[in-house]
Amino acid sequence: MSDMIKDEACCGGTIDETSSTAFPRVNRLLDRFFDIKPQLCIERAMAYTRSYQKTEGETAVIRRAKAFKKACEEKSIFIADDELIVGCAASIPRAAVFCPEHATGWLKEELDGLSTRRQDPYEVTEEQKAVLRSEIFPYWEDKDISSHWLRQIPDEVKEIAVKTGIIDIEIKTQSGPGEISPNVKKVLQKGFLGIKKQAQDAAAALDIVKPEDYEKKNFYEAVCISLDGIMALAARYAALAREKAAAETDADRKAELLQIAENLDHVPANPARTFMEALQSFWILQIGCYIEANGPSYSPGRVDQLFYPYYKKDLAAGLLTEKKALELIECLYLKFAENTWFLSTNAAMYFAGYQPYQNVCVGGIARDGKDATNELSYLFITAKMEVRLHSPSLSVRVHKQSPDKFLRKAAALSQIGTGFPAIHNDEVTIKMMLISGADIEDARDYCMVGCVEPYIPGKMSKWTDGGHYNYGSVMELALTNGISVVNGNKKLGLSTGDPSEMSFEELKDAVKKQLAFCIKHIATACHICEKLHAEYTPYPYMSAMIDGCIETGRDITRGGAELTVGPAFIGTGIADLADSLSVIKEFVFDKQVFTMQDFVQAVKHNFKGHEEMKAYIESNGRFYGNDDDYVDDFVREMTDFAFEEITQYQSYRGPHYISGLYPVASHVPHGEVVAALPYGRLEGTPLADGCSPKGGTDVKGPTAVLKSVSKINHDAHVAGTLLNMRLDPMSSKGEEGNARIVSLIRSFIDLNIYHVQFNIISSDLLKKAQKNPGSYKSLIVRVAGYSAFFTELCKEMQDDIIQRTVQKF
């Protein structure tokens, strides 16, 4: 943490200058991290391009595996000074791994502006540009997923789905599916050699005269090639560690390098024997995911459960101390922060902050239903308190029997002001997992991936960003008869009629028709995208770590996982829609203060000439977040309707689509394309995030917010729902503040809400960071379902965070 932030003491907040890490090596690694500027890495792109050029005519899954192996064998590797856990998906830390087989068109267009774009810029050299333009772009032109998708989606879908912001479904054409929690436990217990043998044994039982067995044979061969590749990469790191040890003059560092080499000689090929080996084995697994596909949300799962047997065994044998375990965890957290997710300018606005959405999860109940909290649960939280980086995200699972000590520890992390942890309610989430098809023991063993998405580790394949739709837009389209004001007064919605001639129920029906129209187009575009991934970019490496794929001989893109769920369609701005319906009902139909035509004109003209009307609405309206059924009922009604619409459609891989209510960062770019809305919001300004109230409208305190949000049928939205709350730093300080936060968490559990997270940071500090970003490089804030470095966010994102309601106890 920078001295400037320490000195500010959060301007009345809770950041404590004494809460930095006690480990000198970690402090040195942190100092180096903040000196790094994210940049582009094209080594993986070059390896894949050259491999694909040599494998023309071979099956897609074999081509993918050979390219993966080539990248593992040829990529640059490094071991930084002080590192104890080693490995990086790119050639240098915080570099973007570019996957040309997904999309090259956007990078070709944006290459010269990549280092100066407003959100998530990357440094790029002239030499890299030359290689991209001469070798990589020409080969992949018209061959990548994005090109195929743009050619195959119907024109009417393209009209509303591409660069309008009304719906956004391009993300899975630009990257791998992501949203994976691989079977880390299986890798730790069997090693990659054990998994490879499982694939070989399955292949040996096939008869390739059968067409389905021939397909399975190719899959098993690809799994084996991929595992050989990742084991070769581990062996290269072992050799490098031994080479560095030979040249090292410091005896302590020499011993560390030799230990790293010994670890990598054994794992991940073989079962892990120690706590350090287990962490290292997992990390090699993790970077393999990023090499196979630039995607989001590769997450280890319940880390306190996964690594506890090794921790406990090493402690008993005298091989490890609690302090050393904490240092190793902090070193692992630094490695997480080196990964990024590489996206186009448009997509980066929806997923802002160089965030790869890696999620570690602690707490909750065990498979037998008893509380699972252990010593590592606290150590992983402590490490997050000390290593204040944007990644990994930390989620805590809570339930009615959660130890008070654990809740106090989670609250203490919240008090620091980084936006961690995300808090998840076991009772609601287990219902979601049962609805998704899990048995009760697996449902109890859920983890988180990405922002807030629940997942059965090692058994589930679940796209959770199949498409984003915009509740603000559907309100606008209902008032304008399908015209998008910001998109040049273009007809992008349905013709639902003149709202001034409608009853209130007819207006709600028009809103629902516009919403159904958007969801149908997402479904069409999404199943085409799924199909293209199955045909052109299977993922044999990741499939090897998901139960069901080796057993059935099918890749995750073809439904091979034991549980295939989704994709998910994600709604943004439900508060904006509900608040709009509330003021229309009250002031047009109940009290006749204004006419419907007044609202239509105000929306079309951004309240110009309607300033008094805007002020009256803002002073007298009834808004979501204040425990008022008058408006809260609209939130439940419209989210229930969206759920019914989404789940009627079937995905390419088989199951129906699923619903979620979390924005990532889409509430800002979605808001940029929405006209003014009836409750007083101006054109182009951000929408509310997730199922959170709109900033400035929730004025009756944090408990009222919880009660409003509790009226949503959370367990229906099995992709997850998100509640972002900003708490007053002064009333959140110290032991009394900790007790208040714990009490709020207890209320959250009792009200059966799925998720909540807290931003506890002063507006004064955020405004100072805006004006003087160089002094606040390490300042972290909660954006939506994730945290990011505040000064790495564009001004629009920063302003949205500053304007959120500060809830006082």
CA distances 312 to 274, 376, 382, 620, 672, Å, are 10, 9, 18, 59, 52
Taken in order 488, 493, 498, 499, the sign of the CA dihedral is negative
* Residue 11 domain-assigned (yes or no): no
- The residue whose two tokens read 């770019």 is 669
Taken in order 801, 806, 757, 621, the sign of the CA dihedral is negative
Same domain, 412 and 508: no
Q: Three-state SS for 393?
A: strand
Domain boundary residue among 667, 701, 721? 721
Q: What is the pLDDT of residue 16?
A: 39
User: DSSP string of 508-526?
Assistant: HHHHHHHHHHHHHHHHHHH
> Contacts for 495-503 with beta carbons within 8 Å, 24 or more apart?
499/596, 499/599, 499/600, 500/595, 500/596, 500/597, 500/600, 502/596, 503/589
Helix (H) / strand (E) element for 407: namely helix 404-416
Q: What is the pLDDT of residue 18?
A: 37
Q: What's the token pair of residue 612?
A: 């008094």
Q: What is the pLDDT of residue 663?
A: 87
Catalytic residue of the set 10, 451, 518, 549: 451
Of 632, 662, 664, 660, which Cα lies nearest the Cα of 647? 660
Number of DSSP helices (H) and strands (E) in the chain, helices first: 35, 22
| Whether residue 526 lies in the annotated active site | no
Residue 758 pairs in a beta bridge with 725
Which pTM does this prediction carry?
0.96
Task: Judge if the upstream peptide bond of residue 271 is cis by omega within 30 degrees of 0.
Answer: no
Same domain, 119 and 190: yes
- Give CA angle at 393 (391, 395), nearest 5°: 165
State how beta strands 483-484 and 806-807 pair.
Answer: unpaired
Same domain, 282 and 197: yes
Same domain, 183 and 305: no
CA distance 782 to 768: 17
CA distance 103 to 147: 7
CA distance 717 to 721: 7
* Residue 27 domain-assigned (yes or no): no
Same domain, 518 and 635: yes
Q: With beta carbons less than 8 A apart as the criterion, state whether 478 and 494 touch.
A: no
Same domain, 496 and 595: yes
Of 317, 595, 568, which Cα lies nearest the Cα of 467? 568
- The residue whose two tokens read 């008070």 is 404
**How is residue 60 annotated by DSSP?**
H
Q: What is the pLDDT of residue 563?
A: 97
Q: What is the pLDDT of residue 14?
A: 39
Same domain, 139 and 262: yes
Residues 392-404 pLDDT 10s: 999 999 999 999 9
Same domain, 144 and 269: yes
Catalytic residue of the set 453, 530, 645, 796: 453
State how beta strands 755-759 and 780-782 pair.
Answer: unpaired
* Residue 561 domain-assigned (yes or no): yes
Task: Judge if the upstream peptide bond of residue 421 is cis by omega within 30 degrees of 0.
Answer: yes
CA distance 552 to 531: 19
| Whether residue 110 lies in the annotated active site | no
Domain boundary residue among 659, 694, 721? 721
CA distance 85 to 87: 7
Q: What is the pLDDT of residue 78?
A: 97
* Residue 170 domain-assigned (yes or no): no
* Residue 81 domain-assigned (yes or no): yes
Same domain, 116 and 260: yes
* Residue 350 domain-assigned (yes or no): no
The percent of residues in the chain predicted with pLDDT above 70, rounded, is 98
Q: Name residues of the chain where pLDDT drops below 70.
A: 1-20
Residue 96 pairs in a beta bridge with 40
Number of domains in the chain: 3
CA distances 373 to 189, 368, 378, 478, Å, are 22, 13, 8, 49
Q: Three-state SS for 563?
A: strand
Cα-Cα end-to-end distance for the chain: 28
Same domain, 102 and 209: yes
CA distance 121 to 127: 18
Domain boundary residue among 721, 747, 763? 721
* Residue 7 domain-assigned (yes or no): no
Same domain, 649 and 794: no
CA distance 236 to 242: 10
* Residue 21 domain-assigned (yes or no): no
Same domain, 594 and 671: yes
CA 53 from chain center: how many Å? 33
State how beta strands 447-449 and 483-484 pair.
Answer: unpaired
Domain encompassing residue 495: 467-721
